[in-house]
Every structure is written in structure tokens, then in C-alpha cells.
Amino acid sequence: METEKSMKIMVTGAGGFVGSRLVAYYGKKYDVWGVTHKDLDLTDEAVVFKTVEKYRPDVLLHCAAVSDVAECSKKPELSHAVNVLGTEYLAKACGKTGTKLVMCSSDQVYFRKRGEQESLDAYLEPHWEDCIETPEPLYGKQKLQGEELCLKYQPESVVLRLSWMYDSLTEDELAKGRRNLATMLLEMLDQKQSRKFSDTDHRGVTDVTLVVKNMEAAWKLPGGIYNYGSSNDTNMYETVRRVMASFGQEALAEKATGGNVRNLMMRTDKLARHGIFFPDTAAGLEAFLRKGGVL
């Protein structure tokens, strides 16, 4: 494993949930330059080219995005400029410099409506990377476009489809009102407080610490698209019920019924064939909660 500081890694979105943790973790081993939107305007093609050519990173971890689904819809021009054009500019620049590009995409590319003649069982099959995606939200559409542009202009790009993630939150994240599933579950266990979870929402949820630690192996993957995170085989209510049951608090998980069925679940077989593994969602959450002091 390379440990010399001579290896240069550039991280976009360095102020975000994933990017900030990547910078902190790999900055101990490599020459890491984390950039935020204040440092680099991804919507300016000339600036992007000049920046990448000047720094000439060996690996570029592209985490920057307008990732709030509602914000994307409210500001479609801005989100397109960042999520699509910004990704295109980075891919072109990396293709020119020979930089290995890793794009953090999203499980939102799998968010589609159930077909009129489609059975529920068929709709709820976990997704493979080569599924034909027809995402419903604008964010998912933009991420899919970004993936295609990465592979078009830098064929060695590694596209990682990430799930919803969790971790302990920093003071700054708490001040911004950030929350995630793990922090909710910790509160439930600490306060013995019940909470309702959807029985129609099916998705994986991943410990971001594992996302970060596995990134070193991920940037060495052959170019292509990979589902990157914890798998799941059920809805959010059942997932939380399983986790709570492991602490003898199954009754704290209550079922919220109704609403359209959504399936963002991913198969991770392709990733596993390359030696990268994540625990399934319930197991990952239980391990995180026990590490956090819950007996």
C-alpha cells in the first residue's frame, strides 16, 4: 500500500459530509488538497481545467454536488451547472492529465416509478449496476448524466453509487441541524422513545466511515460503475425493527403505512468480486450503535 506523501489526491466538496471525512482521513497519508465551492467554481470550465492541470493530482475524488433533492428541483439551472457541467469539466480535465477520477454518484439514479403492469416483487428486486435507469427526481437524472460524462471523457473513471449515510456529527454539522438515521436511533435508545418508519421505503444505509476507509481500494478499481455501500433486503421499518430487536427494544420501532413504494436497494456483488465489502444495513447500524456506547 502506497504511503508516500508524493501521491497527490484532490477532493472536491471538501466541506461536505463525505468530502470532509476523506480529507481528514487520507491527509495523514497522502498529499491531499480539499477544495470547496469557495476555492473552485465548478461551473467555470476554464478555471476547472487550469486548476486540475496546475495541481495534476494522481486521483481526484469528486464529492461536490447540489445534493438536496428539493434544492435541485427549485434551482434546476444551478444544479445542472454543478452536477452535470461541473462533472463534465472535471472529467475532461482528468482525461487530459491522466488523473484517475472517482465520481461519488447516488442510489437516486434507481428512483423510478413502478410500472403499471409490474408486480411488486419485480419492482422490489435490488438493483444491479447495468439496470436500465429511468430516475424520477431531477437529482437522479443529473447524477446519471454526470456518470455518462465521466466515462465518456475519462474512461478509467470509477463511478460509485452511494446510499444514504450516517456517522456521529461534528459540532458544525449539529449547528446546521443535520441528522441521520444512526443519530435518530441513538436518541430512541437513549430516551426510550418510539418513532415511526416507512414500510414502503426500501433502501440501503451505510456507515460513512466505511465509505471513507474503502475509498483507497475503490480508486484502484477498473473504470466503470459500482454500487458502493451497504445492501438491504427490506423496508425502513423492518430494518429499524431488526436493529432495535438486537438491543431488546423492538417496540420502539413503529410502522408508518401508506405512501408510494420506493426501491433504492442495491446489489453489491460486483464490488465484492473486487474485494471491497460492506456489512448489510441492519448489521452496520447495530455495529455503529454498539461502538457508540449502547450495550
pLDDT digits (tens, 9 = 90+) for 234-249: 999 999 999 999 999 9
Q: Write down the pLDDT at residue 295.
A: 44
* Residue 42: how many other CB atoms lie within 10 Å: 24
Cell numbers found for residue 12: 472536491
* Termini Cα distance of the chain: 36
Name residue, grid cell 450516517: 166
Yes or no: say if 164 and 111 are a contact pair by the CB < 8 Å rule: no
Q: Using the 8-state DSSP alphabet, how is residue 235 labeled?
A: B
For 242-267, give one letter per residue: b (16+ CB within 10 A) or e: bbbebbebeebbeeeeeeeebbbbbe
- Under the phi-then-psi rule, with left for phi > 0, alpha for psi from -120 to 50, and beta for the rest, what region is 223? beta
Q: Chain-wide mean pLDDT for the chain? A: 95
Q: What would the pLDDT profile of 202-245 be if each residue is shown by its tens digit? A: 999 999 999 999 999 999 999 999 999 999 999 999 999 999 99
In the predicted structure, residue 293 carries a pLDDT above the cut 60: no
**Is 192's pLDDT higher than 50?**
yes
- What is the share, in percent, of the chain residues with pLDDT greater than 90? 88
Of 241, 76, 211, 219, nearest in space to 154 by CA? 219
Which domains does the chain possess? 8-165+206-231+266-280 (3.40.50.720)
